[in-house]
């Protein structure tokens, strides 16, 4: 585990702006002294506006030094029909797009730094970076929220949005630590947790509370800590993993779902269980820290 004396540098690849869990994961990273965020790459529909939201969060944390790059807005093959979340539609972000380097370029340029990639969105950026520079698979590792473990029976959003990209990544040989929906769905905040965040009188909590309300859109939805759990995997032992072989189905009724088998190699680690109460406690302690 990284420590405050020896923090772990990492890159966050995110589709921030749809579900609230990406924003909560970014805030958790910024409030974790064992982690040093070296860059943010954005992915999926209107990735440039997602980059603007990431910059907004960074500014409230006084971390404008972290580079933010916009990446792929379209999946490799399949068409898109859905729009973007209310955090991107209704939040007061600049209307003009800021010219940014491309996220795939940033990921490739970070090769020699060997920074791990924390991917909490579709894997399009990561797949194209690995295709352009296969040495990434040897130089770094991927911690990801996506798919479902061997007990799961559903398509998960991040993989569903670009199954071809996920298949490329899982075939690349890169070391993967996969936290799937079957595990993350066990970690849900309560109304009491949201009230605690809303009661904090500081700009960071106020921003989170406002974005949570936008995401709720007048409903009583409660955040599930899908993406924050991938962050917690880096700094706690509340998640248990097993080595497995894993591949992504690309055809038929199971398109976008995973197939698991006994491991022939040890580079894929799949989350199989979580201490959910402990994960929530750690998340809340960190998210509310100054």
Q: Which domain holds residue 62?
A: 8-287
Residue 2 included in any domain: no
Q: What is the pTM of this model?
A: 0.96
Q: Which domain CATH number covers 169? A: 3.90.245.10
Q: Is residue 102 part of a domain?
A: yes
- The answer as to whether 252 is a domain residue is yes
Nearest to 46 by CA among 78, 11, 89, 12: 89
Provide the number of structural domains found in the chain. Answer: 1
Is residue 173 within 8 A of residue 162, CB to CB? The reply is no
Question: Is 1 among the domain residues?
Answer: no
- Domain membership of residue 213 (yes or no) is yes
Domain membership of residue 105 (yes or no) is yes
In Å, how far from its chain's centre is CA 113? Answer: 20
Ordered per-residue pLDDT tens for the chain, 290 residues = 899 999 999 999 999 999 999 999 999 999 999 999 999 999 999 899 899 999 999 999 999 999 999 999 999 998 877 777 777 766 666 655 556 689 999 999 999 999 999 999 999 999 999 999 999 999 999 999 999 988 777 889 999 999 999 999 999 999 999 999 999 999 999 999 999 999 999 999 999 999 999 999 999 999 999 999 999 999 999 999 999 999 999 999 999 999 999 988 789 999 999 999 999 999 999 999 87
Task: Tell me, yes or no, whether 3 lies in a domain.
Answer: no
Q: How many other β-carbons are positioned within 10 Å of the β-carbon of residue 147?
A: 29
| SS percent in the chain: helix, strand, coil, step 5 | 40, 20, 40
Would 204 be classed as within a structural domain? Answer: yes
Strands 258-261 and 245-248: antiparallel
Q: Which of 193, 226, 267, 269 is catalytic?
A: 226
**267 catalytically annotated:** no
């Amino acid at each position: 585990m990284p420590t405050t004396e020896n923090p772990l540098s990492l890159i966050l690849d995110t589709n921030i702006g749809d579900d609230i869990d990406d924003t909560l994961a970014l805030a958790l990273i910024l409030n974790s002294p064992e982690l040093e965020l070296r860059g943010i790459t954005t992915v999926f529909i209107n990735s440039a506006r997602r980059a603007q939201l990431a910059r907004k969060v960074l500014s409230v944390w006084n971390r404008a030094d972290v580079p933010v790059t916009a990446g792929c807005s379209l999946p490799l093959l399949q068409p898109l029909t859905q729009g973007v979340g209310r955090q991107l539609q209704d939040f007061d972000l600049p209307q003009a797009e800021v010219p940014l380097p491309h996220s795939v370029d940033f990921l490739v340029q970070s090769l020699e730094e060997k920074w791990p990639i924390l991917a909490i969105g579709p894997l399009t950026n990561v797949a194209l970076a690995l295709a352009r520079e296969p040495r990434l698979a040897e130089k770094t590792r991927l911690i990801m929220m996506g798919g479902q473990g061997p007990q799961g029976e559903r398509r998960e959003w991040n993989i569903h949005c670009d199954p071809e990209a996920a298949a490329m990544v899982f075939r690349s040989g890169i070391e993967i630590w996969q936290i799937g929906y079957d595990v993350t769905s066990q970690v849900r905040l309560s109304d009491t947790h949201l009230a605690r965040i809303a009661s904090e009188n500081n700009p960071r909590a106020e921003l989170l509370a406002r974005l949570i309300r936008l995401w709720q859109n007048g409903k009583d939805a409660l955040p599930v800590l899908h993406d924050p759990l991938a962050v917690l995997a880096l700094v706690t032992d509340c998640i248990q993993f097993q080595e497995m072989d894993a591949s992504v189905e690309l055809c038929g009724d199971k398109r976008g779902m995973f197939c698991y088998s006994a491991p022939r190699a040890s580079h894929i680690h799949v989350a199989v269980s979580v201490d959910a109460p402990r994960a929530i406690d750690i998340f809340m302690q960190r998210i509310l820290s100054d």
